[in-house]
Structures are given as C-alpha cells and as structure tokens.
Chains A and B, each alone.
Chain A
C-alpha cells in the first residue's frame, strides 16, 4: 500500500487530501507514480502535479529528484512552505 497526501493549495486544486494505492507488486519510482496518477485522474491532475514549484516528499523527507518507492511509503505533494 502507498499513502499519498496533498496539502494546501495543491489539496484544494485537486479537491483531494489524499488517497491510498495498492502496491503494484513490481518496481515503481516517484515519477512513474505521478504519471500513473495523471493518467488515472486526467489532465486537471496533470496540470497540478507537474507545476514547476511542486515539492515532493517521500516518508516525510523532501526529495528533489526521482527515487525508487517501496511498499508502505508515504508520498506527499505540496507547494512551497510559508510558515513562521
């Protein structure tokens, strides 16, 4: 199982705070997962998930490149942060 989370403006633009996906049983990397979401949910999701300033985190660590995923991973998509 993969847990996918969306926050803030991204959550609103997708009208989705998160979803769970069955582990495909074979190798999967972050970009392939993103492509899978774009194919499954359509162009509106592609427009959001491919935004230039999108931040991606795997298991609560920001990643700046593609990376291998594992069963049980938590993947998050969110805009640049504005706390403090």
Chain B
C-alpha cells in the first residue's frame, strides 16, 4: 500500500480552527489545484433525543493508526498531494466542531471523492465511541446502518 507522506492525523480535546488547518494543508504542498474539506458538528438532537452533552471516547494509538491507514488507502485510489484529519474527544456540546478532514489534489474530483471516502471509513473503522447525555439520561450511540452502507459502496 502507498504511504502518503504528506499527511497528518490528530486527536485531541481542544477545539480547532478550520481556516488554520486548511492553511496548514496548503503550506506543505509543492503544487496546488484543489482542496476539499469536511467539518462535522455535534448534532442538537439525534433520533428525537435532545442532546445536551456528547462524550467521545477513543482508543489512543489505534485511533491515529487506523485513520492514517484510511488516508493511505485513499492515496492508493486517488492521486493525492496531502491529507489531514482532526478529531476531538472528551466532552462536547451541541454545535461544537467534532471532526475535520482536508484533502489536497491536483483536481477536484479526486479531492471530493477522497475526502468523502476518508470520512465514510473513519466513521465505520476508527475506534471512537459517542455517548449522548440529556434529559433522557445517557445512552451509547448505536451504529447507523446508513454509515455502514456508505462505507461499503467504495
């Protein structure tokens, strides 16, 4: 499998600055063309449950390794120049940024596709777990079949 040298994976509690992340992605490039990015936010309600807090747990080490492997898989399929992923853990509130993926390529098609591929695989392969807290108590989020089928179509 190809290793995309120009890639980074970060997992932390702190918020992130989308513009800064995109500048960082761009600054490492020897040529430009297209950058596609995705930002995910904590939902205010899930399956009609009003969520007041989201707790995100992960498996340190495996999380980073698995996302890096997903990026390398994307680099096998599309001609990528660079890719970055940032995922937050800990206690988050509705509306908070939770995940960011940015992909640079010479052309938009590869950038769009690889960004979506990385997100679809991240959601179904990277060891993160969400627990929702709210008026209903607390509940571990269960797997969405839709996420599985989105990942399976690649």
Q: Chain A interface (Cβ within 8 Å of chain B)?
A: 5, 7-9, 57, 60, 76, 78-84
Enumerate the 3 nearest inter-chain pairs by beta-carbon distance, A residue then B residue, closest first: A83-B128, A84-B123, A8-B129
Contact A82 B141 (CB under 8 A): yes
Contact A60 B140 (CB under 8 A): no
Chain B residues closer than 8 Å to A79, beta-carbon distance: 129, 140
Chain A residues closer than 8 Å to B66, beta-carbon distance: 60
A83-B130 contact in complex given A8-B140, A9-B140, C-beta closer than 8 Å: yes
Chain A residues closer than 8 Å to B130, beta-carbon distance: 82-83
Q: How many A-B residue pairs have CB under 8 A?
A: 65
Chain A residues closer than 8 Å to B58, beta-carbon distance: 83
Contact A83 B126 (CB under 8 A): yes
Contact mask for chain B residues 95-117; partner A; CB cutoff 8 A; 1 contact, 0 none: 00011000000000000000000
21 contacts between A and B (CB under 8 A): A5-B59, A7-B57, A7-B59, A7-B127, A8-B57, A8-B129, A8-B140, A57-B59, A76-B62, A78-B127, A78-B129, A80-B143, A81-B124, A82-B141, A82-B143, A83-B56, A83-B58, A83-B127, A83-B129, A84-B119, A84-B147
How far is it, in angstroms, between the C-alpha of A59 and the C-alpha of B112 when the chains are bound?
32
* Among A57, A80, A83, A84: residue with most chain B CB under 10 A: A83
A82-B59 contact in complex given A8-B140, A9-B140, A60-B65, C-beta closer than 8 Å: no
Query: Chain B's interface: helix, strand, loop or mixed, by majority?
Result: mixed
Q: Nearest Cβ in chain A — how far from B39, in angstroms? A: 11
CB nearest to A59 among chain B residues: B62
Contact B122 A84 (CB under 8 A): yes
B142 within 8 A of A: yes
A60-B62 contact in complex given A84-B99, A84-B123, C-beta closer than 8 Å: yes
B20 within 8 A of A: no
Contact A83 B122 (CB under 8 A): yes
Chain B residues closer than 8 Å to A5, beta-carbon distance: 59
Q: Nearest Cβ in chain B — how far from A3, in angstroms? A: 11
Chain A residues closer than 8 Å to B125, beta-carbon distance: 81
Q: Nearest Cβ in chain A — how far from B64, in angstroms? A: 9
